[in-house]
Amino acid sequence: MKKLDYLLAMDFIELPEKAGGQPQIRRWESVGEGNPIQDLWTYQPYTERIYAGSNDAIDQDVTWALSDGEANGYPTQKPEGLLARVIRSSSKEGDIVLDAFAGSGTTCAVAEKLDRRWVGIDCGKLAVYTIQKRMLNLRTEIGNKGAALKPKPFGLYNAGLYDFSKLRELPWDAWRFFALQLFQCRDEAHKIGGIELDGYLKGASVLVFNHQKQPGVRIDEETVQSMHEGLGSKVGNRLFIIAPALVFDFQQDYLTLDGVRYYALRIPYSIIHELHQREFSALKQPADEMAVNDTVDSVGFDFIRRPELDYEATANKRKGELFNEGVIRVKTFRSEAVVRDSTKKANRETLSMVMLDYDYDTESDVFDLDAVFYAEAIQKAGWEVRFPLESVGKQLMAVFVDIYGNEAHEVIPASKFGLGDTKAPAKPIKKAPQKSREVIHHEHQRR
């Protein structure tokens, strides 16, 4: 009663004029005493329609219960409503918003919707691919509702510690020698079908692409096709092509023409271990969901080296169900990295995760993340990745990531899972803005 008397004396209670009416709390815009406005934003359940003219509950926009349209499966995702409050209260339209631990990309997505420029940074491969997919599938309203929002062009960059342009300025002979040594190739120039080649790697021929002699020229599928017309089967069953990462215009680790595999050995935008006084240690990728945001002390990134991979793609009956499930069985997975941890790793020990794009579109050449499987769960399943076949389109792309951040990309046709080549796409084909195709190995996103 004392509290009620105090509130009445301070004019916080409004008494009804009509008989039988109920007293109401009177809320003032500014008071000298009383309870201050709370700085804790947390959804209050069962408070819907408490505000006149609104059906929303108290702090409903920052609810932790993400809507189906907003949730993307990232373990530490924050609601768009929460970031919208932060960005609106601390910036103006046209300002630059930076999130140094971008995670699921909520900051980037909300900044885009609120007409801010943005920079997102993350060292996790899952975060990078999650953000890429999210920014290509935005909707106009906070909470990812409303009409589709056409994404503005944005770039994906590898934020290595050093400027790779210094290496590109080397004279051709020095560059060629460096490229061969980088991938531990034997320097032995030779010709096949009139095409000059530079050496050998694991018994197969190696070509060091002369980007200085052909400035601006990119290596795409047509380039490889022209090369194949001169080499044909005379080159054997594989050829390695070494070039700066940005020169390649396709995501796959290799292209296959008439049984010959043309491997892309990409030189990344990071300083080379042999040219630097300090040793590199890798930014390790998580092996389970709980470790997604763990940080590991590091000096820099290692070379981008495709892990050794052998797998089997097939289909099995789902346990207790009539429908089949797709299965990717990881038979061999080994990594080679120039890091301080020189301990020899066992088969599959360096696997971090496998990410899938169920309906990979070769034309757009953008990996559109649909599902992620962590190594811990894959191991418990007998080193098998299992997924619903009804989600698979004409072809699937699988990205196998090791603990050092290296990736092996595999495009697997639907026929490998017993599906016909004429199967309709499982989801609409989306084309990315041209700029979003510039780099596929990246840690830094900017619009």
Provide DSSP, 403-436.
Answer: TTS-EEEEEEEGGGGT--TTPPPSS---PPPGGG
Give how far Cα 260 sits from Cα of 210, 224, 241, Å.
22, 11, 13
CB 52 within 8 A of CB 39: no
User: How confident is the model at residue 11, as a pLDDT?
Assistant: 72
- C-alpha 2/C-alpha 5 separation (Å) is 5
- Other Cβ atoms less than 10 A from the Cβ of 165: the count is 9
Q: Residues 241-266: what's their mean pLDDT?
A: 89
- C-alpha 298/C-alpha 300 separation (Å) is 6
Does the pLDDT of residue 160 top 80, yes or no?
no
User: How confident is the model at residue 314, as a pLDDT?
Assistant: 94
pLDDT above 90: percentage of residues in the chain: 40
Confidence of residue 294 (pLDDT cuts 50, 70, 90): low
- C-alpha 373/C-alpha 227 separation (Å) is 37
pLDDT averaged over every residue in the chain: 79
